[in-house]
Amino acid sequence: MTGASIPGAGYVAALASFDRMTATRLRALLRDRDPQEAYALAAGRVQPSDPIATLFAEYADLAQRWRTEARRHRPADAWRRCVEAGVDVVRPDDARFPAQLLGDPACPAVLFVRGDLDVLDARRVGIVGTRNATQQGRATAARFGAELAEAGVVVVSGLARGVDGAAHRGALSVDGSHPVGIVGNGLDQPYPRQHAELWARVAARGALVSEWPPGTPPDAFRFPLRNRILAALVEVLVVVESRERGGSLITAKEAGERSVDVMAVPGSVHSPASAGTNRLLSDGAAPATETADILVALGLDTRRAGRTRFDPRPAPRGTAAAIVESCRSQPLTLDAVVDSTGLSVADAAMAVARLERDGWLRSTGGWFEAIDEWADLA
């Protein structure tokens, strides 16, 4: 294959494979240059001008490193891998590039895609969580995935083990669903390997998206980077289970920085798998106890439709949600609420008073108990 017959996408894919190539550096290389010229510049075949000259001056070994990388990553080989894997190379100036990313401060310089990015035109919810999920956590993710898909919502996740995979399996159980997977390696190498079939089904029904070209291994540092893309693409992010320092919390942080609503599934204070989600709730995330909570956040609430029973109570959030969950386990005194939440007596009294007013708690002889059915108010 001659240089003239290699499409620009081959040069972009080769550049994206370079060691120490970041989205910012790739954007700088491609700014006001065609991909072939950008590749020649990185390979040291033409004299650099600013800002690349400044970049090389700041990182003395970078120019030499990229010259070595150019010998390892040739555009013809990179393009062939894309073709063999059925991968499209989509840049920000391409009409297919997700509009949700264009204004993002950390917009990718290129996306590698299997499937149809047009599915992102629908309403979108991200579902993420720990790889070491409990059975209950996986079941919750699968139920959310299926019920959101039934409502016409695109389920976006990371295709990891545990919560992510369960959410996508749930979505795929619904005919006509279009799930989207954002992954941290090349699209020709499903990771984890046991998810190869799941990757294929997501690509066939929706889209697989990566910032890295075919042949890129699943290095640990790539997954926190992909989380920003997932966070930027969704309207609501739901964290089903997360360890105290789980990667899902990174995604939640990225979502929060983009003003994306973050929701979390409450869990037992004794379960390590819920330590991160409970912390999100205490920090102000909205609780997601059923799919209707998520649809409300999207503005797609259909609970009043038809003859189904509707719970009109405003959903408690943060510490209030934790108080309701504690009182659901067993009735608590005000002193016990203070001990379990760390609130002052005055703040705890105000919190339980609001929950009584909204119909979530009732007080009997100084003990507060949760009201699970609004009909119990009668």
Per-residue model confidence as pLDDT tens digits over 51-82: 899 999 999 899 999 999 999 999 999 999 99
Which phi and psi (to 5°) does residue 352 adopt?
A: -70, -30
Give the contacts of 130 (CB within 8 A, at least 6 positions apart). Answer: 137, 162, 163, 241, 242, 243, 246, 248, 273, 276
* pLDDT band per the 50, 70, 90 thresholds, residue 374: very low
pLDDT tens by residue, 277-294: 999 999 999 999 999 999
**Cβ contacts of residue 179 below 8 Å, gap of 6+?**
145, 149, 154, 155, 156, 157, 168, 171, 172, 202, 205, 206
What is the CB neighbour count within 10 angstroms for residue 174? 19
CA proximity to 13, closest of 87, 102, 121, 98: 87
Span 237-265, average pLDDT: 93
Across the range 216-240, mean pLDDT stands at 95
More confident residue, 312 or 281: 281
pLDDT of residue 372: 66
Whole-structure pTM value: 0.79
Residue 11: closest CA among 78, 67, 68, 69: 78
At 378 the pLDDT is 33
Q: Which residues contact 77 (CB under 8 A, 6 or more apart)?
A: 14
At residue 376, does pLDDT exceed 50? no
pLDDT digits (tens, 9 = 90+) for 85-106: 999 999 999 999 999 999 898 9
Percent of the chain with pLDDT over 90: 76
**pLDDT over threshold 90, residue 122:** yes
What residues are paired with 124 via a beta bridge? 154
What is the rounded distance in angstroms from the CA atom of residue 38 to the CA atom of residue 46? Answer: 9
- Over 90: is that where the pLDDT of 144 sits? yes
- Backbone φ, ψ for residue 101 (5° rounding): -95, -20
pLDDT digits (tens, 9 = 90+) for 323-364: 998 898 889 999 999 998 889 999 899 899 989 988 899 888
CA quadruple 9, 10, 13, 18: dihedral sign: negative
Sign of CA dihedral 128, 129, 130, 133: negative
Cα-based distances in Å from 367 to 53, 269, 336, 352, 356: 70, 21, 9, 11, 12
| Res. 375 pLDDT band, cuts 50 70 90 | very low
Whether 189 has a pLDDT exceeding 60, the answer reads: yes
